Structure 1
Amino acid sequence: MKRRLNGLTLTLLASLSFSVFAAPIAIPNPPSLSAKGYVLLDYHSGEVIAEHNPHTQLKPASLTKLMTSYTAGQELNRGNIAKTDQVTISREAWARNFPDSSKMFIEVGNTVEFSDLLRGLIVQSGNDASVAIAEHVAGSQAAFVDLMNNWARRLQLNDTYFANPHGLDDPNQATTAYDMAKLGQALIRDVPTLFPLYSETSFTYNGITQHNRNALLRDRSMNVDGMKTGYTQGAGYSLVSTATQGDMRLISVVMGTSSPNVRTTESKSLLNYGFRFFETIQPHEVGAEVTETRIWMGEENQVSLGIAEDVYMSVRRGSGNNIRAEVDLPSTLKAPIAQGETLGSVNYIDENNQVLKTVPLVALNDVEQGGFFKRIFDYIRLMFI
């Protein structure tokens, strides 16, 4: 049985006017980028706005350090390590092991605070810092790489495999633009204490100041607050970037371009496209009543229905006014009903009657089974419906 939202629900959806007769809104194709692969992802909804070769495996280069910091961040979350830990630098983490690549300039035998290693990893893109972090977190690079790949599986980065913590080319190391976008989303969501480091524009260690290679952090025309550049000869120039505009956050991944300037301009073009032509809407919040429905054989005759998680959607800018919501429920629901039990679904439908998203409807309260006479009375009434 389909039910349209009642007046109370429409009030909850004040951001959507449900005007079915509004004219369709035209939208141009995404910009054509000179990249091997790219993805533009809406952070809140997780929906892809634009893509090219999103699942083609490519070399990650220093984008790998997103997973290095994510893995370290999860260990910080669990209390297994602390930012104040003092880390003794091993010969494997010595800066001299990386003569032709980015480094923090740490020296063998020196003691470095873990928080400084994190900045050396994120701001300076230090390959030496990557090794030092890996060894401190897991005891060895190999054990840390196992953790990285375990997290990749848990995050369903299905086309990604890591072979080292720094991203230097390895024949067994690969990722995709889509997986990097999902990793960026997970890093912002799951390790918020580390994410602010990605907006820092410089870091000084051992008397050497290095600037963040993400040039978009210095672009005043956009509110970019992360994330990570990458380059090797085999990978080309890549950039994962994220920016906000109002309540909307986008994550852009551009991989395999020909120069630092190209990866910057292409990323900016992609972000501008998303903000110009799309918006993020939140038609319902968790715990808010979407509708209520009749319950038979219960102590109460009605149960409130809502959603278990916040709903976000990526839609063409201005088209939120054309979206309507309909709920699907069984024709007969009987007590007992437990709070959180899935009883139906709500469909969000555009002006072309296309279902954009379907989410479960759950009971917002318990309904206990009614007494003997209440059940008999409802049973008789059901016979005539």
Structure 2
Amino acid sequence: MTRRLAILLLIVLVVPCFGFGPPRLTDADEPLKSLTPQQIALMRDEPLPAVTAPAALLVNPTTGQVILAQNEHARRAPASLTKLVTAIVALERGDLDQTVTVTEEDLQIWTMIGLHEQETLTLDEMLHVLLIPSDNTAGVTIARTLGGTADVFVGWMNQWVESHGLRNTHFANPHGLDDEENYTSAWDMAQIALYAESVPFLREILATPEIIAADRRLVNTNEMLTRYSGTVGIKTGTEELAGECLITLVRRPQGDALAVVLGSTDRYADSVSLLDHFYGHYAELHFDLPESPLNRYVDTEGNLHAFGLREPLTMLVRSWQTGSVTIVRRIHNPVVNPAADEPIGTLEVLLAGRPLMEAPLYAR
């Protein structure tokens, strides 16, 4: 009897060890972090800001994540936002050191800074005049000089937007004064703005609140440069048909935000509402694995190998999530001679222990 009980006990203890495979971590094994009351409060969905602009867009350029999109593909008059493409094409077609001369015909389009007939500036200077005080005559002078006629230059502008897949944008002039054939969309303007910001020469101009150039004090029409912290550009536009237009790019340690408003009745209030919403609710997180004893694995022969990511990871999260995000390195393939293109594991990004995203790890 005693022997039978012993055998039965042995079976009970041994059977669970078969058929279930080796022990491994499951979702339930991950340590779950508790959320603070403040985080729980921030989790509540906040309504998106209401803006007067019939077309608006709020996006995180780093990740491409759209936070707010309101009629973002609707065609709207662009006003002086047009000048961004005028400047882009001028840089592609001209030389910054070449001279451009204002003609009597150019002055039929009014000048905000008092350009006069036969005034000669370098293209560099004229682009400052075009973009900082947003002078209309400057646009005509640049277009006529580089294209032979303004119409030829505008044709180049339309070729440029078409080549970049901007199907809801078309230009009829180089300055942006109202014209039925002059239109764009908030989405297209966001792409144009980011392209302009990728050009160092333009990025510097668009970030300049004021400067002495062309023998004048040029003051930027974009008040966000001095009234909203972190603003680095980019452009205003105002016309009767277009209404108030504004593109704003803000860079802060918390992350980057791009706001576009078209047809607004108060472009600054609208833009501030959009940007405040972003910085009140979102943050960028960046992940990289530098050289470190933590970022090594032991292969099957006991040798150490460094590992890392091909490129740093960036993700956009809600602000309440930042304190609950952790990373886990998992080595699945501890090979002795790892190939350059062969993943050896995975970096997992977890929110309170739950997976958010992952990326392959490679031996260095």
Give the TM-score of the pair, scaled to structure 1: 0.69
Within 5 Å, which residues of 2 pair with 1:265-304?
Answer: 265-284=269-288, 304=307
In 2, distance between residues paired with 1:328 and 1:91?
Answer: 71
Decide whether the 8 Å contact of 2:332 with 2:346 is kept in 1: no
Asked if residue 314 in structure 1 is aligned to residue 320 in structure 2, the reply is no
Instruction: Specify whether residues 39 and 362 from structure 1 end up closer, same or farther in structure 2 by C-alpha distance, changes over 3 A only.
Output: same
**What code does the residue aligned with 2:66 have?**
V
In 1, distance between residues paired with 2:119 and 2:257?
Answer: 40
**From 239, 243, 256, the counterpart of 2:263:** 256
Instruction: Specify whether residues 83 and 350 from structure 1 end up closer, same or farther in structure 2 by C-alpha distance, changes over 3 A only.
Output: same
Q: Deviations over 1:109-152 (max 9, x none)?
A: 33112222112111111121112223444444344334434443
SS in 1 for 2:90: helix
Displacement of 1:196 in angstroms is 2.5
Which residue does the alignment assign to 1:372? Answer: none
In 2, distance between residues paired with 1:143 and 1:327?
Answer: 57
Asked if residue 120 in structure 1 is aligned to residue 120 in structure 2, the reply is no
Within 5 Å, which residues of 2 pair with 1:1-385?
Answer: 20-22=33-35, 25-26=42-43, 27-73=45-91, 75=92, 81-92=94-105, 94-95=106-107, 97-99=108-110, 103-153=112-162, 155-188=164-197, 190-202=198-210, 211-219=219-227, 222-246=229-253, 248-258=255-265, 262-284=266-288, 304-308=307-311, 310-323=312-325, 337-338=339-340, 348=349, 350=351, 355=356, 361=360, 363=362, 365=364
In 2, distance between residues paired with 1:248 and 1:45?
Answer: 10
Bigger relative CO (Cα 8 Å, ≥ 6 apart): 1
Displacement of 1:191 in angstroms is 1.1
- Please provide the CA RMSD for this pair: 4.0
Instruction: Specify whether residues 264 and 325 from structure 1 end up closer, same or farther in structure 2 by C-alpha distance, changes over 3 A only.
Output: same
In 2, distance between residues paired with 1:303 and 1:235?
Answer: 56
Displacement of 1:66 in angstroms is 1.8
In 2, distance between residues paired with 1:147 and 1:333?
Answer: 55
Q: Deviations over 1:195-240 (max 9, x none)?
A: 2222333467788756432222332x63333221111221111111
- Percent sequence identity over aligned pairs: 25
Instruction: Specify whether residues 141 and 291 from structure 1 end up closer, same or farther in structure 2 by C-alpha distance, changes over 3 A only.
Output: farther
Decide whether the 8 Å contact of 1:104 with 1:128 is kept in 2: no
Q: Deviations over 1:158-185 (max 9, x none)?
A: 4323333211233333222122223222
Displacement of 1:293 in angstroms is 8.2
In 2, distance between residues paired with 1:19 and 1:143?
Answer: 63
Displacement of 1:33 in angstroms is 0.8
**What code does the residue aligned with 2:230 have?**
N
Instruction: Count residues with an aligned counterpart.
Output: 330
Instruction: Specify whether residues 186 and 311 from structure 1 end up closer, same or farther in structure 2 by C-alpha distance, changes over 3 A only.
Output: farther
**What code does the residue aligned with 2:81 have?**
L
SS in 1 for 2:201: coil
In 2, distance between residues paired with 1:19 and 1:329?
Answer: 21
- The runs of 5 or more residues in structure 2 that have no matched partner are 1-23, 26-30
Which residue does the alignment assign to 1:383? Answer: none
Decide whether the 8 Å contact of 2:96 with 2:123 is kept in 1: yes
**What code does the residue aligned with 1:201 have?**
P
Instruction: Specify whether residues 344 and 209 from structure 1 end up closer, same or farther in structure 2 by C-alpha distance, changes over 3 A only.
Output: same
**What code does the residue aligned with 2:222 have?**
N
Which residue does the alignment assign to 1:369? Answer: none
In 2, distance between residues paired with 1:98 and 1:333?
Answer: 70
- The runs of 5 or more residues in structure 1 that have no matched partner are 5-17, 366-385
Decide whether the 8 Å contact of 1:103 with 1:129 is kept in 2: no
**What code does the residue aligned with 1:217 have?**
L
Displacement of 1:256 in angstroms is 0.6
In 2, distance between residues paired with 1:191 and 1:312?
Answer: 23
Decide whether the 8 Å contact of 1:120 with 1:203 is kept in 2: no
Displacement of 1:330 in angstroms is 9.2
In 2, distance between residues paired with 1:334 and 1:87?
Answer: 65
Q: Deviations over 1:39-95 (max 9, x none)?
A: 12223223222222222221111111122223334x3xxxx7443322223455x22
In 2, distance between residues paired with 1:155 and 1:67?
Answer: 12
Give the TM-score of the pair, scaled to structure 2: 0.73
